[in-house]
């Protein structure tokens, strides 16, 4: 893998690494802000950016990175299947979090600790699989191709559903159609509920290093 600062490989790997650092920080912030009897909606402002950002990134990764893995990587179809399956596991955990947050009767008896443990576990597993994909794509393709994938990931993340939809198709034509329908529905409810949807991490062509970005990642870093 070419690790020069201007490398397209680094752009893709750094974008995914920083995105997961931002999502992890939002998760910790949301976990620390629990609803109370006096302030039942206090946790929404913390949890909604995490739910929206994570849901969008998972959908975008399945739309952009998974097809690239199928085309370019050894055992690509199997790895695409594994990532789609793990994405669904994460989205199930996110759906449970959303149900608990909004007072669904299906999640009311489940402890918050159990909810967050599942979310953290599935997010970590998704991150591990995704970073392996981008690292291997860096070895199997050109820097320019990886740079284009990073740009497509960013653009796609801005036009995919903002809520978890674990039981919709994740791949192929059926996946694209399902995402379009879900996006329209999600946008309607986001507007009706005044929900804050954060911007995704924008790819950068220069950086201080992947480790530094991971340690210092900030959701409000300029694009």
Tens-digit pLDDT profile for residues 132-158 = 999 999 999 999 999 999 999 999 999
Residue 74 buriedness (CB in 10 A; 0-12 / 13-18 / 19+): exposed
Tell me the H-state helices in the chain: 8-32, 44-72, 76-101, 112-140, 143-157, 172-193, 210-216
The sign of the dihedral angle between the CA atoms of 100, 128, 21, 221 is negative
Pairwise pLDDT comparison (20 vs 218), residue with the higher score: 20
The pLDDT of residue 46: 84
The Cα 56–Cα 47 span in angstroms is 14
For residues 168-185, give the mean pLDDT.
81
Whether the Cβ atoms of residue 80 and residue 73 lie closer than 8 Å to each other: no
How far, in Å, CA of 179 to CA of 166, rounded?
11
Q: What is the mean pLDDT of the chain?
A: 85
CA separation for the pair 16, 134 (Å, rounded): 8
The answer to whether the CB of 32 falls within 8 A of the CB of 15 is: no
pLDDT digits 0-9 by tens, 45-98? 789 999 999 999 999 999 999 999 999 999 999 999 999 999 999 999 999 998
Question: Distance between CA atoms of 188 and 208, rounded to whole angstroms?
Answer: 39
pLDDT at position 5 is 41
Whether 216 has a pLDDT exceeding 70, the answer reads no
User: What are the tens digits of pLDDT across the range 23-32?
Assistant: 999 999 999 8
Query: What CA–CA distance (Å, rounded) separates 64 from 85?
Result: 16
pLDDT at 160 over 70: yes
CA-CA-CA-CA torsion for 63, 95, 32, 187, nearest 10 degrees? 60
């Amino acid at each position: 893998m070419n690790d020069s600062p201007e490398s397209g490989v680094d752009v893709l790997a750094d974008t995914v690494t920083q995105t997961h650092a931002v999502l992890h920080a939002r998760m910790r912030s949301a976990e620390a802000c629990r609803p109370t009897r006096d302030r039942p909606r206090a946790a929404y402002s913390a949890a909604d950016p995490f739910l929206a950002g994570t849901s969008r990134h998972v959908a975008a990764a399945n739309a952009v990175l998974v097809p690239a893995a199928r085309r370019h990587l050894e055992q690509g179809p199997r790895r695409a299947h594994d990532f789609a399956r793990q994405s669904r596991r994460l989205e199930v955990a996110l759906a449970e979090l959303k149900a608990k947050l909004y007072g669904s009767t299906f999640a009311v008896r489940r402890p918050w600790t159990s909810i967050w443990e599942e979310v953290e576990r599935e997010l970590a597993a998704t991150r591990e699989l995704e970073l392996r994909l981008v690292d291997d794509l860096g070895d199997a393709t050109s820097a320019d191709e990886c740079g284009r994938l990073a740009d497509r990931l960013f653009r796609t993340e801005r036009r995919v559903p903002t809520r978890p939809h674990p039981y919709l198709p994740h791949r192929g034509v059926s996946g694209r159609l399902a995402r379009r329908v879900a996006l329209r529905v999600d946008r309607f409810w986001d507007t009706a509920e005044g929900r804050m949807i954060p911007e995704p991490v924008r790819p950068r062509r220069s950086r201080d290093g992947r480790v530094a970005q991971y340690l210092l990642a900030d959701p409000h870093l300029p694009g």
